[in-house]
Amino acid sequence: MSPARADFATRGAPVGQGARAFRKVLVANRGEIAVRVCRTLKEMGIPSVTVYSDADRGAPHVRSGDESVAIGPAPPAQSYLNAQAILEAARHVGADAIHPGYGFLSESAIFAKQCRDAGLTFIGPSPESTARLGDKSAARRTAAECGVPCVPGAEGVDSVERALGEADRVGYPVLLKASGGGGGRGMRLVRARDEMPAALEAARREAGSAFGDERLLLEKYVHPARHIEIQILADGREVAALGERECSLQRRHQKLIEESPSVAVASSLREAMQGAAASLARAASYAGAMTVEFLLGPDGTFYFLEVNTRLQVEHPVTEMRSGLDLVRAQILIAAGRPLGESLGKGTPELRGHAIEARLCAEDAYQGFLPQTGKILLLAWPKADGSRVDTGIAEGQTLHPYYDSLLAKVIAHGRDREDARTKLLSALRGTALLGVVTNQSFLIDLLEDAAFRQGETFTHTVESREWQAPKEIPDAVLAAAATFLTSPKAAGDGEEETDRYSPWQRLGGWGRTP
């Protein structure tokens, strides 16, 4: 079934033949972001090419492109992280540009340079800008040069001895973080000296697997803190700041709920954070979309955290408030168009409130354990003011090789409570059977008093015990009933009628829809 989405007006000059920036764009990613990028390419009249691993053969993102190319076995290192396979695919289909999405190779300065050397446009910042800002260690140095306050820490933590020395210097607890990527990968919280050896090894291993880069840095753990980020668009000369998003509700350093604006950010603080973010873009002569992330301490002081030199997972939150298509902006900027062509008549006014929830294949009530299996039934909500970005389909089998994100459900309202109510309605109107998801948990978060009052921090989720619902949610019962009475459940008379019965095959379906 097709996902629902709220139409958002694309600002800027009309897209006609003159705006057809590239002959053909290869999307070097998978899942919902590949589907999302292909949607904008289609709207711009630019042919698209998707790539897929053996495990993703037949996945929805493959069908989103005008063409598709196989790039290797299921493990990311042999497919979506295999730069040579992706470059060869681009050459094979005659693409002249590559959009990396997020994750995988999206923040690799090496890959950006390989694209340039191969005569391909990397739809993102230059290799030089990526090296200066996408690498966490280099970004800290750039932030310090720009006078942006940084969390106390050290880069180049390559041994247990050095990590212990730096942790003793800044004081426990500390965070170990991957230098070459984000999204919570390669990150470990270390509360005491005896935890360091195992944490360092685990962080290094995960960073190498996720980004092909085992380098780590160490930072003081700011607590309690809010996670605030600023969306930037720049063309190498002009810079536009598009407000903040708050992403404090996280588990294992990966975001669950994102919203804009933040209840904790007053106009004066917003201006200071936007100014700091813009200064980083100017220092790196940045061209493209980027997000500058900050920690906001309990005393109102903000600290530079990192720069994501790519499109963020939560970019729809900004799109819903601004009316911009950030993927379109990326494409136009990469084609050398001035920033004004993406913005239209100046920086857009940000309207209302938007909230995004990440629907993931995980059991939130059992330690957020990743889940796999076959999606037996899938129905997205049809609600005013809501949008669903997804890359899954009914009948699809979910494999363990990739991130657990299945979809993003976003709602926009006149104010925070209106957006919260609409998002709750959209989540309750979503039915996904066959695989345990965090759907009920997202509803719990949105209904929790801490969220309603705007008192959420980066430790909120993991500092509490959350109880699984004791009753089967109405959405599950309704979806199961629909499934039982549907033609595919009943069959055509030649097959046993209960072959696809959810009552027989749903496994852990009772915990979450």
Question: Does 33 share its domain with 157?
Answer: no
Confidence category of residue 9, pLDDT binned at 50, 70, 90: very low
Looking at 411, 432, 452, the residue that finishes a domain is 452
Question: Does 318 share its domain with 352?
Answer: yes
pLDDT tens column, 138-178:
999 999 999 999 989 998 898 999 999 999 999 999 999 99
Looking at 176, 198, 220, the residue that finishes a domain is 220
Question: Does 39 share its domain with 76?
Answer: yes
Q: What percent of the chain stands above pLDDT 90?
A: 78
Question: Does 356 share its domain with 258?
Answer: yes
Residue 376 lies in a domain: no
Residue 117 lies in a domain: yes
* CA–CA dist 154, 418 (Å, integer): 43
Residue 470 lies in a domain: no
Residue 277 lies in a domain: yes
Question: What is the domain count for the chain?
Answer: 3
* CA–CA dist 421, 217 (Å, integer): 40
**Bridge-partner residues for 258, per DSSP?**
356
Least Cα distance to 375 among 420, 434, 459, 417 occurs for: 434
* CA–CA dist 234, 287 (Å, integer): 5
Residue 130 lies in a domain: no
* CA–CA dist 101, 403 (Å, integer): 14
Mean pLDDT, to the nearest integer, of 249-269?
96
Domain holding 189, by residue range, is 152-220
Mean pLDDT, to the nearest integer, of 94-101?
98
* CA–CA dist 381, 384 (Å, integer): 9
Question: Does 158 share its domain with 211?
Answer: yes
CA 327 to each of CA 2, 21, 72, 342: distance values in angstroms, whole numbers, following the listed order: 21, 13, 27, 10
Question: Does 322 share its domain with 448?
Answer: yes
Residue 327 predicted with pLDDT over 50: yes
Residue 478 lies in a domain: no
Range with top average pLDDT, 218-222, 341-345, 448-452: 448-452
What is the reported pLDDT for 365?
95
Question: Does 61 share its domain with 169?
Answer: no
What CATH number is associated with residue 163? 3.30.1490.20
Residue 88 lies in a domain: yes
Tokens of 82: 């295999």
Question: Does 337 share its domain with 351?
Answer: yes
Amino acid of residue 380:
W
Q: What is the dihedral of CA 161, 166, 171, 173, to 10 degrees?
A: -70
What CATH number is associated with residue 267? 3.30.470.20
C-beta separation of 270 from 244 below 8 A: yes
Active site amino acids? 310
Mean pLDDT, to the nearest integer, of 221-232?
94
Residue 90 predicted with pLDDT over 60: yes
User: What are the φ/ψ torsions at residue 264 (nearest 5 degrees)?
Assistant: -95, -5
C-beta separation of 359 from 408 below 8 A: yes
What CATH number is associated with residue 61? 3.40.50.20
Question: Does 235 share its domain with 330?
Answer: yes
Range of weakest confidence among 315-319, 400-404, 504-508: 504-508
Least Cα distance to 445 among 266, 313, 189, 259 occurs for: 259
Question: Does 190 share its domain with 266?
Answer: no
Question: Does 273 share its domain with 189?
Answer: no
Question: Does 347 share its domain with 412?
Answer: yes
Looking at 124, 144, 178, the residue that finishes a domain is 124
Residue 169 lies in a domain: yes
